[in-house]
Structures are given as structure tokens and as C-alpha cells.
């Protein structure tokens, strides 16, 4: 204890940084192995329309079943995968796996896969999507990709070109986490998105925050004139569901309808 008090704040700070760096290195090493050892698994969360329990598709969300640490959530490994470049193999894995599993679904539901902005830096992205569709036999209209607005922020024309090629394959494109980041409405003019997903923070805040509700209204109002579907993320109660319906949201996703589940458990909740 005396020893600890004797040290200055900077030493303490650098020690913490060292621990953080070590933790990152460990995750990085383990993640390499996780990809080859199939410890990464996609969980599927239902997306419903305004008829409450009518499922129109699923979002694929990555989970890491670590042999010692148990389940690790995306926020604890996706950023590291992005920093280290591992996101390219992880992303290709997600596309192949989601298409393969969705192709086996008897009910013909569609699947949405998250793409990292980093994946747009690799010119192979379009051919990876094409290969995933071809190998699985999944009809392209059953695949949706979710991107965030940062994809439109830099390398705009190159990235829009990639989005157009994906769309030409027949894949649908959704703009995820809308309302966070820069959220310029002009993004919606730069590419014909099929869907906009309102970030769950707005759904969470809408009851107590007039600003959150005003933003939800602005997005749904605009979507009506642009003919874009609006998904509300993070819907946790019937009260939120009813309110969001009134505000003009057309699609819904959240714990109220179902949690992310492995493919084999997908239909058990309903």
C-alpha cells in the first residue's frame, strides 16, 4: 500500500495502460484462433412488422464462445478486430455463415448482416458477398447488409460504388444506428437505402426526452416521402411498440419481440 501511495499518477496511469494493452493483445491472439476454431457463432434476433408477432426477418449478431472466458460480446472484440485487420476474415465468416444458415430456414426468412466500415476498404467485399450467396444458394433478396453512416463519410464515391454493386446483386441495404454520429439527412439522398434503423438510444429516451421523440418524428416523416422503411431498434415494452407505431415506424426489433438466439433455437420463442 505504501509502495502504491509512493508512486505518482503517471506511473499508475501507464500501468493501467499496460494492462489494457495486454488485455487487447490477448484478445487479438485468441481471436485469431477463434476464427479458425469456430468459436464465433451468429445469434439471430427477430425483426417484426406492426402486427406484433409477425416476423419478417432476423439480424445476425456475432457471439464469441471463448473456451475459458465464456461468452464475449461484440463490443469487446469487434473494435479489436477492426484495429488489427482481423475484421476482414471475421466479416467474411459472418457473411458465409449467415447465408448458409438462412438458406436452411424452411420459413424462407431473410437475414441482415452487419458490415464494418473497415470492410469497405477491401476491394474484395463485393466478391465476398457474391461468393457467400453462391455457395449457400440463398436468394439475394433474402440477404440484407447493415452499414453505418460513417461508410458515407469518407471515400464516399468509392463506397457508394460498392453499395451500388451490392444492390445490383439484389441485396438490400439498411442504414444502421441512424441518429448517432453525423446523421446528415443528405446521406439519404446519396444512396437509395431500403431501410433506416433508428438507434436504440432514441427509443430508450423517447419517453422522457422531447428531443429524442422529435428526432424519431423527423426520421419517420421524411421516410414517408422517400418511401423508406423505418426499423425501431431496442424496443423493450408494449408501450414503446404502440407509441412507435403511432409515430410511423414500420418495423420493430428488440427484447420485447425476442432476444438474439442461435439458429437452431430461432423458432422456439414463438
Measure the CA–CA gap between 263 and 99, rounded to whole angstroms.
12
Closer CB to ligand C2E, 109 or 180, in the complex:
180
Q: Under the criterion CB under 6 A, does residue 247 sit at the interface with ligand C2E?
A: no
Quick note: the x/- pattern for Mg ion over 48-67, rule CB under 5 A, is --------------------
Assign residue 137 a region (left: φ > 0; alpha: ψ between -120 and 50; beta: otherwise). Answer: left
Q: Under the criterion CB under 6 A, does residue 179 sit at the interface with ligand C2E?
A: no
Closer CB to Mg ion, 97 or 177, in the complex:
177
- Print the SS3 string covering the chain: CHHHHHCCHHHHHHHHHHHHHHHHHHHHHHHHHHHHCCCEEEEEEEEEECCCCCEEEEEEEEEEEECCCEEECHHHCHHHHHHHCCHHHHHHHHHHHHHHHHHCCCCCCEEEEECCHHHHHCCCHHHHHHHHHHHHCCCHHHEEEEECHHHHCCCHHHHHHHHHHHHHHCCEEEEEEECECCCCCCHHHHCCCCEEEECHHHHHHCCCCHHHHHHHHHHHHHHHHHCCEEEECCCCCHHHHHHHHHCCCCEECCCCCCCCEEHHHCCCCC
- Taking contact as CB under 6 A, which single stretch among the options 15-23, 166-174, 218-226, 254-262 is the one that binds ligand C2E? 254-262
Closer CB to ligand C2E, 87 or 188, in the complex:
87
Residues 113-132 that bind ligand C2E (CB under 6 A): 114-116
Q: Under the criterion CB under 5 A, does residue 176 sit at the interface with Mg ion?
A: yes
Residues 70-109 that bind ligand C2E (CB under 6 A): 73-75, 78, 91, 94
Residues 201-240 that bind ligand C2E (CB under 6 A): 233-236
Q: Under the criterion CB under 6 A, does residue 254 sit at the interface with ligand C2E?
A: yes
Closer CB to Mg ion, 30 or 177, in the complex:
177
| Residue 187 grid coordinates | 446521406
Closer CB to ligand C2E, 205 or 236, in the complex:
236
Rounded to a whole number of angstroms, the minimum distance from the CB of residue 118 to ligand C2E is 8
Closer CB to ligand C2E, 179 or 234, in the complex:
234
Q: Which does 101 bind (CB under 5 to 8 A by kind): ligand C2E, Mg ion, none?
A: none
* Sites of contact with ligand C2E (CB under 6 A): 45, 61-62, 73-75, 78, 91, 94, 114-116, 146, 176-177, 200, 233-236, 253-255, 260
Amino acid at each position: 500500500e505504501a509502495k502504491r501511495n509512493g508512486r505518482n499518477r503517471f506511473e499508475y496511469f501507464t500501468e493501467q495502460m499496460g494492462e489494457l494493452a495486454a488485455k487487447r493483445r490477448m484478445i487479438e491472439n485468441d481471436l485469431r484462433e477463434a476464427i479458425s476454431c469456430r468459436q464465433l457463432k451468429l445469434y439471430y434476433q427477430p425483426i417484426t412488422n406492426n402486427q406484433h408477432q409477425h416476423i419478417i426477418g432476423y439480424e445476425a449478431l456475432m457471439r464469441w464462445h471463448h473456451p475459458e472466458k465464456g461468452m464475449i460480446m461484440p463490443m469487446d472484440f469487434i473494435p479489436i478486430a477492426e484495429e488489427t485487420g482481423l475484421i476482414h476474415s471475421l466479416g467474411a465468416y459472418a457473411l458465409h455463415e449467415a447465408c448458409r444458415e438462412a438458406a436452411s430456414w424452411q420459413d424462407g426468412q431473410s437475414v441482415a448482416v452487419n458490415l464494418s466500415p473497415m470492410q469497405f476498404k477491401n476491394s474484395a467485399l463485393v466478391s465476398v458477398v457474391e461468393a457467400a450467396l453462391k455457395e449457400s444458394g440463398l436468394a439475394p433478396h433474402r440477404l440484407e447488409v447493415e452499414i453505418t453512416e460513417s461508410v458515407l463519410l469518407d471515400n464516399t464515391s468509392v463506397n457508394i460504388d460498392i453499395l451500388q454493386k451490392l444492390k445490383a446483386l439484389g441485396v438490400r441495404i439498411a442504414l444502421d444506428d441512424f441518429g448517432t454520429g453525423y446523421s446528415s439527412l443528405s446521406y439519404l439522398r446519396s444512396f437509395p437505402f431500403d431501410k433506416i434503423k433508428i438507434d436504440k438510444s432514441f427509443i430508450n429516451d423517447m419517453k422522457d426526452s422531447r428531443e429524442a421523440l422529435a428526432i424519431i418524428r423527423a426520421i419517420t416523416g421524411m421516410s414517408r416521402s422517400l418511401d423508406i422503411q423505418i426499423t425501431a431498434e431496442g424496443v423493450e415494452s408494449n408501450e414503446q411498440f404502440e407509441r412507435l407505431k403511432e409515430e410511423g415506424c414500420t418495423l420493430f426489433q428488440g427484447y420485447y419481440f425476442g432476444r438474439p438466439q442461435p439458429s437452431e433455437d430461432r423458432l422456439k420463442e414463438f
